[in-house]
Structure 1
């Protein structure tokens, strides 16, 4: 007999094996067939002990009173691609750009005389700028750990990880929750009277980037929950409130059908570009949370396919290959960082976003740049850019990478989450849970029509100047940013454009 799932937000029952309902999120699947796009998924899997194991453990409990039994929480992140206040990131200090007064910390700011007369919008802008820059730094810290382990192409989405960790804040308490906030450097933004202030920040980020019709970003969460797993209603309500999470009950004891349901959902909303996430699921799985971003965009000024031709690309001083090199003559914003020995250019896309291309002066000289990447550095590059007529040679490339990120997150200080003492008491009354694995898969394709990026605004064009020629013909770093909040969406390194 088939068991029907419990009722959740939609009030509908979802029998195991039944075709998936339409997503409540804006669906980009049709567009994905014809355009380059980005999608990100984070999947959390909570596994319980089997019945026989519980009986065995109960039988041996009196002989092993000090041993601990844990459930596993597995997290996978899956990615598919195509107003500024000055903030001291190290201390959470806010500077007033209008008065140039001495720095004040968040507590002083909230208690200072006359605060009530400040515009709410200004306060919100300062807070969001602070939070966004701190989140960008978290992304760069994570990127450095990934880059240090790989000498070849690199690509991932820090925003996907941040959204997933922000979702975790709703289900965790104590040391588990504190370590997440500390690692993201968002602990100073916490308020005891507003415990969900950080999820509120990420809801604001989500609202701003997904309401940009030209940029076409869709971000959401889907939870697949075992029919008998006791998830707290308060967690479900908050997940819906902050992250618009959908809930789909499934029977994980029938692991084959459960696996097909999860993969069917992924295949559906990615237009078939991601055929599956799981080859198998443990029958003791209790909960899977998928966090995703769909990101589709076009160059503001596309490249002309007629000018794309095979051109040498120098991987290092001793090896060169032929790659499809695009070309265009355009007004392009760029700057030169003499200290880090690199050129930085900004390629505009429709919508408030941009791809920053960081080109080292010499082949393979990207290590020192990666070591120094921060939100402040990116902002200084943007502030110093000038727009001039440029002949740009830029390679087409496709990247497809998968990373095991659990160890990296632990290196950043998120350790209790992976231990048997992890505190998930805001998610469920069941104890002995831990996070066992975090995996991220990322894909991006860049061609003449575009990928996701940002639009250059407010720069003056230098008239009557001789064109500058920039040849991106050696390994480079790229950063895709959303410019309304200056939020880092994706970070990558291209060493070999024709190697995924």
Structure 2
């Protein structure tokens, strides 16, 4: 018998031990790399959503299945440490500012009506991971999908059609994570300045056109030679709080995104953020002319192969999977389906006038022109947790 893990992420524009947040962040960087290989380097995923769901699954795994989950997710070995660390991290990440950023993360468990799940696992996933548990008759599958989607929409996150009828085919249990993020720029783009502009590939050949957003302002910016790219931080939310940020990493001309990403996997993201902060402390924010495509990306990808490459193998194998902490039945994970959407537009809150003019006389503005493939990360900054991440490489007029 199989179980399916479904993850859905949607983006439209506290205290936590650093040691535990490092675990989620390192997993995020590696997952995006292998997912990008599957999607030809044009993608969006929610590493935090994937990590959240698989961390919950770890509580139900035993033997080599649990060992591989612990190694792949970079989790502590003790169950209580996993739970405490997860709760601290999610509390810090999800504590958003009212009116500026809306961030919701929900776990759901759907069990077939005659499928027996052990009470200890039910207690853990309900009480520790705040999952919403629902028993359904998985047949007919069309009815099951409709009822499950109604539960998701009514109890937590207003997202439609997360589950499809085929997800219930021969399944006994479905674990679902839904994460949504809506952020408003601290310094919005003026829509009247958006214009059609060429977009180039990594060999400087024009491959299409985009609606290019434009603005000039003071931002955290740094040229990072260790990764051969420039880094720009565009904050969300209320001025000076700056809890969530959109980080754009633009490779130097002639440098491939894959090359930058390989270096990013070795250079700690914390070091990138530290350099941005250090440059700010020493020189102040930088006057930057920002050219960023207005874009929308939808991804629907099976994560089995990326996770295989990261060392997670046994849970997908009917003969090796071990979930004795969930049920006495022999079950395995047939697929981990990840569905994510992102929209990046001009919309934002009104920017503070002092921010854009504070250092206008320090130097000529830097030009951050994202007219070629680039990497983007949406971060919760107190923990440097990657909520959403992706790569933009295939232009379209959105």
Question: Shorter-chain TM-score: what band?
Answer: 0.7 to 0.9
* 2:288 counterpart residue number: 390
Match of 1:213 among 97, 105, 109: 97
Distance 1:282 1:154, change over 3 A: closer
* 1:304 counterpart residue number: 190
2:101 maps to 1:190: no
Match of 2:85 among 201, 211, 220: 201
Secondary structure of 1:478 counterpart: strand
Secondary structure of 2:268 counterpart: helix
Deviation, 1:81, is: 2.2
Per-residue CA distance 1:48-89 (angstroms, 9 max, x = gap): xxxxxxxxxxxxxxxxxxxxxxx112222222222xxxxxxx
Gaps spanning 5+ residues in structure 2: where? 350-354
Per-residue CA distance 1:462-481 (angstroms, 9 max, x = gap): 46213222211111111111
8 Å CA contact retained: 2:20, 2:89: no
Distance 1:182 1:423, change over 3 A: same
In 2, Cα distance between equivalents of 1:300 and 1:294: 19
In 2, Cα distance between equivalents of 1:413 and 1:152: 21
In 2, Cα distance between equivalents of 1:281 and 1:410: 21
Deviation, 1:211, is: 2.5
**TM-score, structure 1 as length reference:** 0.70
8 Å CA contact retained: 2:226, 2:263: no
Deviation, 1:399, is: 0.2
* 1:174 counterpart residue number: 63
* 2:200 counterpart residue number: 314
8 Å CA contact retained: 2:2, 2:172: no
Match of 1:335 among 202, 222, 226: 222
How many residues matched? 374
* 1:469 counterpart residue number: 367
Deviation, 1:289, is: 1.6
In 2, Cα distance between equivalents of 1:173 and 1:341: 42
In 1, Cα distance between equivalents of 2:38 and 2:323: 31
Distance 1:410 1:341, change over 3 A: closer
In 2, Cα distance between equivalents of 1:175 and 1:414: 10
Deviation, 1:152, is: 4.1
**TM-score, structure 2 as length reference:** 0.87
* 1:491 counterpart residue number: 389
* Structure-to-structure mapping, 1:56-455, within 5 angstroms: 71-82=1-12, 128-186=17-75, 189-191=76-78, 195-214=79-98, 215-266=101-152, 271=158, 274-282=160-168, 284-315=170-201, 316-350=203-237, 352-362=243-253, 365-374=256-265, 376-385=267-276, 386=280, 387-419=285-317, 420-430=319-329, 432-449=330-347
Secondary structure of 1:449 counterpart: coil
In 2, Cα distance between equivalents of 1:131 and 1:282: 34
In 1, Cα distance between equivalents of 2:162 and 2:178: 14
Select the structure with the greater relative contact order (CA < 8 A; seq sep ≥ 6): 2
Distance 1:410 1:245, change over 3 A: same
Deviation, 1:219, is: 1.1
Distance 1:142 1:312, change over 3 A: same
Dislocated runs of 4+, deviation >6 Å:
none
* 2:352 counterpart residue number: none
In 2, Cα distance between equivalents of 1:204 and 1:156: 23
Deviation, 1:354, is: 0.7
* 1:67 counterpart residue number: none
In 2, Cα distance between equivalents of 1:392 and 1:284: 50
Deviation, 1:374, is: 3.4
Distance 1:334 1:196, change over 3 A: same
Secondary structure of 2:128 counterpart: helix
In 2, Cα distance between equivalents of 1:281 and 1:365: 37
In 1, Cα distance between equivalents of 2:74 and 2:39: 26
Per-residue CA distance 1:421-459 (angstroms, 9 max, x = gap): 3221111122x21111111111100000159xxxxxx9x
In 2, Cα distance between equivalents of 1:325 and 1:254: 47
Per-residue CA distance 1:146-165 (angstroms, 9 max, x = gap): 22334341211111111111
Distance 1:131 1:449, change over 3 A: same
